[in-house]
């Protein structure tokens, strides 16, 4: 591909933008197209385009400039990939190239031309033969670096990805010291559930002084899984962002891939996705129930701790494709050891290959898998397969 710098009229640039909108690389990814249109229009107006201005003007309430919000960089990364895909496979000579250089948000407009084809001489043929050898070796290693079957469809679709960690809801109010503090009730996981409890228990002492706290917390699995999934996806140069359930926007159900790490009691509205796709399961604190779709017999799986202090945990790993084409993954456990073991298992190519072969799964299959994880405080874990349900 050859790039020639040239001046273009605004009408020509808008016409190129409209042409991109009809191409399959962008027609199935509306947010990338809207972001490109925003950047092109801002460039034509001569605006000083900065990350914070994109975040506040384009994403609006979904962008928080105070926190370390990498939403803009993630979307720009995916937009560059879409543009590269179009100009590599679909562009024709004379088109305008929209170029967004790394570290910048201004769009550069250049003319596209394909390099001329030169009949190979005997020397060129020999050169080409030797040039193809390292290229073949490189291609081999790139193919070996393909993501495993569990992640591949998520990483190859047209949606950006958000990792969501289940955070514990806490309550502010009088504590046993006689002062105000933060407490945790495992059966109350939202402001709505707290309000319901207050209404149903008016005689509890000082009940009117309790309110939801803005200070939520995570257990050990959150930093471990954050590090593990970052290391895993960095091997494929795959961008994603991170949030917590309490700050997650339900609007992302239809326009992003979602990966949840956490407890069943902290899923919030994400629980609806699991219930809709696998209605035979229900959840309680440290308990999982399965009603057989045919016999209607119910089986319970209960977490417990042995006399020796060994933790027994039942862990869920689920893969779900949404109607819009985006995908959701669940790593679900009420104990640290369950999620930690599951994310280690499903980011390891050998264990995933063995799992898919054993259960005759294909990349596009959705499933709900249950494992029994046992071990002592964050070490010496064993992971045992229990059952698998495929989505009907």
> How many Cβ atoms are within 10 Å of 321's Cβ, its own excluded?
17
Q: What is the pLDDT of residue 150?
A: 96
pLDDT band of 137, cuts 50, 70, 90: very low
Give the integer Cα–Cα distance in Å for 326 and 252: 10
Is the pLDDT confidence value at 133 over 80? no
Model pLDDT, residue 28: 67
- Residue 18: which residues within 8 A CB-CB, separation 6 or more? none
Helix (H) or strand (E) holding 140: helix 122-144
pLDDT band for position 267 (cuts 50, 70, 90):
confident
41 and 27 belong to one structural domain: yes
Rounded distance between C-alpha atoms, residue 26 and residue 31, angstroms: 9
Average pLDDT over residues 303-322: 90
Residue with tokens 């009420």: 334
**288-297 average pLDDT score:** 93
**Both 129 and 268 in a single domain?**
no
211 falls in which pLDDT band (50, 70, 90)?
Answer: confident
How many Cβ atoms are within 10 Å of 49's Cβ, its own excluded?
Answer: 18
What is the pLDDT at residue 2?
Answer: 45
**Segments forming the whole domain that contains residue 17:** 2-113
102 plus 141 within the same structural domain: no
Mean pLDDT of 42-54: 87
Select from 196, 179, 178, 175 the least CA-distant residue to 187: 196
d(CA 61, CA 372): 41
Whether residue 339 sits in one domain with residue 310? yes
Which of 6-10, 109-113, 125-129, 220-224 is predicted least confidently?
A: 125-129
Share of the chain above pLDDT 90, in %: 28
* DSSP count for the chain of H helices, then E strands: 12, 17
Question: How far from each other are the two terminal CA atoms of the chain, in whole angstroms?
Answer: 46
Same domain, 245 and 372: yes
Query: In terms of domains, do 263 and 191 share one?
Result: no
Helix (H, G, I), strand (E, B) or coil at 65: coil
- Is the pLDDT at 357 greater than 90? The verdict is yes
> Is 89's pLDDT higher than 70?
yes
The answer to whether 155 and 78 are in contact (CB under 8 A) is: no
**Position 299 confidence tier, pLDDT thresholds 50, 70, 90:** very high
Q: The dihedral of CA 11, 16, 22, 26: what is its sign?
A: negative
State the burial class of residue 149 (Cβ atoms within 10 Å of its Cβ: 0-12, 13-18, 19+): buried
pLDDT, residue 4, reads 46
Q: Which residue has the tokens 């962002």?
A: 241
Residue 1 has a pLDDT of 46
User: 3-state secondary structure string, 266-324?
Assistant: HCHHHHHHHHHHCCCEEEECCEEEEECCCCCCEEEEECEECCCCCEEEEEEEEEEECCC
- One domain for residues 311 and 361: yes
**Domains in the chain: how many in total?**
4
Averaged pLDDT of the chain: 82
Q: Note whether 140 and 252 are same-domain residues.
A: no
Q: Is the pLDDT of residue 38 over 50?
A: yes
322 or 132: which leads in pLDDT: 322
Q: Which of 193, 228, 239, 197 is nearest to 78 (CA)?
A: 239
> What's the Cα-to-Cα distance from 318 to each of 192, 297, 327, 350, 390, rounded to whole Å?
27, 22, 11, 19, 10
Q: How far apart are CA 174 and CA 177, in angstroms?
A: 8
pLDDT tier, 144 (very low <50, low <70, confident <90, very high otherwise) = very low
Kindly tell me if the per-residue pLDDT of 240 is higher than 80: yes
**Mean pLDDT across 190-219:** 80
pLDDT at 92: 80
> Chain-centre distance of CA 338, in angstroms?
20
On the question of pLDDT at 26 being above 70, the answer is yes
Question: Above 50 in pLDDT, residue 140?
Answer: no
pLDDT at residue 91 greater than cutoff 70: yes
Do 135 and 79 lie in a common domain? no
**What's the confidence (pLDDT) of residue 155?**
92
Helix, strand, or coil (residue 203): coil
Q: What long-range pairs does 275-278 form, CB within 8 A, spacing at least 24?
A: 277/318, 277/320, 277/366, 277/368, 277/391, 278/318, 278/368, 278/389, 278/391
Output the six-digit token pair for 120. 């190979």
Residue 161 has pLDDT above 60, yes or no: yes
Mean pLDDT confidence for 213-238: 83
- Per-residue pLDDT, averaged over 93-105, amounts to 85
**Residue 72 scores a pLDDT above 50:** yes
Whether residues 59 and 125 share a domain: the answer is no
**Rounded distance between C-alpha atoms, residue 186 and residue 129, angstroms:** 66
Q: State the pLDDT at residue 67.
A: 55
Beta strands in the chain (DSSP E): 2-5, 96-99, 108-113, 161-165, 171-174, 180-183, 211-212, 241-244, 257-262, 281-284, 287-291, 298-302, 304-305, 311-321, 327-332, 367-376, 379-390
The answer on 276 and 156 residing in a single domain is yes
- pLDDT of 279: 95
Residue 127 or 346, more confident:
346
Single out the residue of 235, 229, 232 nearest to residue 261, CA to CA.
229
CATH of the domain at 284: 3.30.379.10
**Residues whose CB is less than 8 angstroms from the CB of residue 264 and which lie 6 or more positions away in sequence, other chains included:** 271, 283, 284, 285, 288, 316, 332, 333, 334
Chain-centroid distance of CA 8 in Å reads 39
My answer on whether 242 and 186 are in the same domain is no
Q: Is residue 192 scored above 80 in pLDDT? A: no
pLDDT at 244: 86
The tokens 């009691």 sit on which residue?
A: 265
pLDDT of residue 85: 82
């Amino acid at each position: 591909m050859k790039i020639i710098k040239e001046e273009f009229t605004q009408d020509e640039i808008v016409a190129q933008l409209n042409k991109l909108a009809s191409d399959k690389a962008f027609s199935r990814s509306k947010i990338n197209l809207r972001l490109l249109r925003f950047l092109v229009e801002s460039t034509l107006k001569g605006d000083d385009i900065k990350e914070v201005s994109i975040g506040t003007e384009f994403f609006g309430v979904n962008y928080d400039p105070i926190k370390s919000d990498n939403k803009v960089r993630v979307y720009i990364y995916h937009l560059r990939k879409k543009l590269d895909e179009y100009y590599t496979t679909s562009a024709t000579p004379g088109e305008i190239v929209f170029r967004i250089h790394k570290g910048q948000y201004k769009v550069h407009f250049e003319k596209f031309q394909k390099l001329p084809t030169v009949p190979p001489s005997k020397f060129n043929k020999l050169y080409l033969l030797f040039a193809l050898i390292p290229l073949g070796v490189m291609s081999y290693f790139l193919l070996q670096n393909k993501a495993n079957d569990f992640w591949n469809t998520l990483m190859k679709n047209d949606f950006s990805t958000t990792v969501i960690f289940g955070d514990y809801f806490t309550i502010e109010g009088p504590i046993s010291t006689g002062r105000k503090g933060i407490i945790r009730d495992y059966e109350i996981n939202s402001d709505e559930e707290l309000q319901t409890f207050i209404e149903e228990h008016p005689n509890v002492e000082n009940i009117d002084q309790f309110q939801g706290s803005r200070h939520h917390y995570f257990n050990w699995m959150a930093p471990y899984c954050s590090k593990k999934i970052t290391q895993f996806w960095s091997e494929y140069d795959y961008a994603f962002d991170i949030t917590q359930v309490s700050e997650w926007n339900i609007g992302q159900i239809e326009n992003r891939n979602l990966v949840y790490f956490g407890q069943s009691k902290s899923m919030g509205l994400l629980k609806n996705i699991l219930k809709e796709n696998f209605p035979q399961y229900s959840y309680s604190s440290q308990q999982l129930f399965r009603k057989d779709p045919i016999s209607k017999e119910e089986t319970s799986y209960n977490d417990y701790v042995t006399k020796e202090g060994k933790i027994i945990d039942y862990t869920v790993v689920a893969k779900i494709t949404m109607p819009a084409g985006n995908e959701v993954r669940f790593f679900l456990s009420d104990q640290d050891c369950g999620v930690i073991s599951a994310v280690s298992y499903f980011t390891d190519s050998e264990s995933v290959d063995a799992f898919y072969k054993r259960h005759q799964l294909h990349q596009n299959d959705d499933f709900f898998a249950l494992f029994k994880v046992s071990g002592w405080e964050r070490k010496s874990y064993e992971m045992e397969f229990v059952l698998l349900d495929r989505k009907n």
